[in-house]
Structure 1
Amino acid sequence: MSNDLKESFRSASGGPGTTTGPATGALPDTPPAPAALAAKVRTLAPSMTRSMQRVAEAVAGDPAGCAALTVTGLAERTGTSEATVVRTARLLGYPGYRDLRLALAGLAAQQQSGRAPAVTADIAVDDPLADVVAKLAYDEQQTLADTAAGLDMAQLGAAVSALAAARRVELYGVAASGLVAQDLAQKLLRIGHVAFAHSDPHLAVTNAVTLRSGDVAIAITHSGSTGDIIEPLRVAFEHGATTIAITGRPDSPVTQYADHILTTSTARESELRPAAMSSRTSQLLVVDCLFVGVAQRTYETAAPALAASYEALAHRHSPRNTR
């Protein structure tokens, strides 16, 4: 939904305020860095058409080979059209195919130098525990690196500004994403902000109704299509609150009601490692970025609040207060 459509939607529903979020599917201010290309493919591939998926999988799987191809050559290699190649490049965040080729060449150079290691194999049921640890550690590191590389700094900064000035913050998440919502809520509470995390969809909607301009609502959903999360964000959006979506699918339904979109990455899902495990890792990174940003903006009040909470916990666990 474009900014104009969002504003019209708010006006039609009586909600005050304006939106500063990007139109869904809009190109970022700067194309993704080469290292972020594979992460973008993993994030966006599920929402692509099959022909676009073939292009995306080709460039991620053989960046050096594809970097040497013209747009016609890549279309022939993937059995698609030149228009599909260009659309895929734009969906991945590049203004055109030429920019995508430059990124592919950069990614190929990084891989050849060893700075972009090959992806490890999935965890097998008979893997030794030492291999499980190594593979999980690599996947976690890669997920964090991909998420950091793919974060839109303008969107992150705008979200931090909204949170720092918010009168009240409501967070929506269920299952693993609900744990992340609780994590951010307790962090914000420790620096003196009014924040609530909701996993009950009925409570989420009834609380969203009371939000107004100056309040912030955050939806956390990897798929971006969880109805119990979309609905309270929609209600908050219509009532004029600033809305933020933390999602692995930047073109998913939840982003229709988001002023600011923060995209997360995830490791490959496998039988022994469901998507919820790796998506939570990337969500927690985004949550920490938001919290630290808010603490920086509100340092004069945040620092004393944190010190007071540390002192209270230390006093509670001191030998004089234990039996």
Structure 2
Amino acid sequence: MSSEVKETFIPRRPPTPGPDPGALAAKVRTLGPSMTRSMQRVAVAVAQDPAGCAALTVTGLAERTGTSEATVVRTARVLGYPGYRDLRLALAGLAAQQQSGAAPAVTADIAVDDPISSVVAKLAQEERQCLADTAAGLDTGHLESAVGALAAARRIDVYGIGASNLVAQDLVQKLLRIGLIAHAHADPHLAVTNAVQLRAGDVAVAITHSGRTTDVIEPLRVAFDRGATTVAITGRPDGEVVQYADHVLTTSTARESELRPAAMSSRTSQLLVVDCLFIGVAQRTYDAAAPALSASYEALAHRHSHPKRA
């Protein structure tokens, strides 16, 4: 099957409005690596020259990128727009932002001979860009729904492997401190064993940048089948994990390289989403959360004080 007609997985979720113009560049950076080569040509073209592409018909953009009209339409949909007309409107808006000096910066890859000062500058810029991209592309409708489910949950399970498990533990620690029952699972067997016990009224959260981590997808699938509300935090909204997610929260990250496996930006973006979830839940459960948080501070205060000298 040629790349021109390769079918792209569309998540099983209700349609949502296309992202605002400021989120378009972030969408291209996040989703580009998972697209077919022909779709990547369309995505790169609209990101590099939004004004020029906004002036083109679907036929014109197909000719410019050496693809087909069907590929242009599929690319628009993968980027989050109902059709090409909606993408053109976003391109026009992005072009206007760039003309006003609001164009997003692009961080160059780190080279093996870069001085440490350049490494610091590039990493700092990349982190800022990833956070901005994540915020711009985050579906606040799904975020609100996920917050509501977490706030009302009888029990919360969070799944993450490797670096994503660090984020899972961060979310669980935050939820525990405001009085919610939450557990982080890194062992895939234990994760599935716990997922079997979930039911309606419980929540399962899967954290996977690639969207393809089997050890995270499997317990989420079990939780989904058991009737629990499921949430996926992922950098690949076209990944397999979203098949079993009621709510998908997309993160942005820089491309990983030889010098940067498990790039920090993937965790930074995930942690932003975790903080948004926590603050939302704390707001909704404030009457119970505030005393619980105060009690946890008091219980730990002596561990942070200087020991008295004899």
What's the TM-score once normalised by structure 2's chain length?
Answer: 0.92
Which one of the candidate residues 278, 289, 306 is aligned to 1:291? 278
RMSD over equivalenced CA pairs, Å = 1.8
Q: Whole-Å Cα distance in 1 between the matches of residues 308 and 34 of structure 2?
A: 55
Amino acid aligned to 2:295: A
Indicate conservation of the 8 Å contact 1:25/1:250, yes or no.
no
Aligned: 1:122 with 2:134: no
Indicate conservation of the 8 Å contact 1:201/1:229, yes or no.
yes
Matches within 5 A, 1:1-323: 24=11, 28-319=15-306
Q: Whole-Å Cα distance in 1 between the matches of residues 206 and 72 of structure 2?
A: 32
Give aligned pairs, total: 301
Shift of 1:123: 1.3
Indicate conservation of the 8 Å contact 1:27/1:90, yes or no.
no
Indicate conservation of the 8 Å contact 1:94/1:100, yes or no.
yes
Shift of 1:50: 2.0
Are residues 291 and 259 of structure 1, via their aligned partners in 2, closer, same or farther at CA, if it must alter by over 3 Å? same
Are residues 235 and 321 of structure 1, via their aligned partners in 2, closer, same or farther at CA, if it must alter by over 3 Å? farther
Amino acid aligned to 2:123: L
Q: Whole-Å Cα distance in 1 between the matches of residues 167 and 91 of structure 2?
A: 34
Per-residue displacement from partner, 1:247-274 (whole Å, max 9, x unpaired)?
A: 1111211111111111111123233223
Q: Whole-Å Cα distance in 1 between the matches of residues 52 and 210 of structure 2?
A: 32
Amino acid aligned to 1:56: A
Are residues 27 and 159 of structure 1, via their aligned partners in 2, closer, same or farther at CA, if it must alter by over 3 Å? closer
What's the TM-score once normalised by structure 1's chain length?
Answer: 0.88
Shift of 1:27: 7.2
Moved more, 270-279 or 89-98: 270-279
Per-residue displacement from partner, 1:160-192 (whole Å, max 9, x unpaired)?
A: 000000011000000110100000000101111
Moved more, 32-41 or 108-117: 108-117
Q: Whole-Å Cα distance in 1 between the matches of residues 200 and 12 of structure 2?
A: 26
Indicate the SS of the match to 1:211: coil
Shift of 1:134: 1.4
Are residues 160 and 26 of structure 1, via their aligned partners in 2, closer, same or farther at CA, if it must alter by over 3 Å? closer
Shift of 1:47: 2.8
Shift of 1:26: 5.6
State percent identity of aligned pairs.
80
Q: Whole-Å Cα distance in 2 between the matches of residues 131 and 276 of structure 1?
A: 17
- Runs of 5+ unmatched residues, structure 1: 1-22
- Runs of 5+ unmatched residues, structure 2: 1-9
Per-residue displacement from partner, 1:177-229 (whole Å, max 9, x unpaired)?
A: 01000000001011111110010001101111111111111100011111111
Partner of 1:13: none
Amino acid aligned to 2:19: P
Shift of 1:154: 1.0
Moved more, 106-115 or 76-85: 106-115
Partner of 2:6: none
Are residues 317 and 48 of structure 1, via their aligned partners in 2, closer, same or farther at CA, if it must alter by over 3 Å? closer
Amino acid aligned to 2:208: T
Q: Whole-Å Cα distance in 1 between the matches of residues 38 and 296 of structure 2?
A: 54
Q: Whole-Å Cα distance in 2 between the matches of residues 67 and 43 of structure 1?
A: 21
Indicate conservation of the 8 Å contact 1:27/1:94, yes or no.
no
Q: Whole-Å Cα distance in 1 between the matches of residues 298 and 222 of structure 2?
A: 39
Q: Whole-Å Cα distance in 2 between the matches of residues 309 and 181 of structure 1?
A: 20
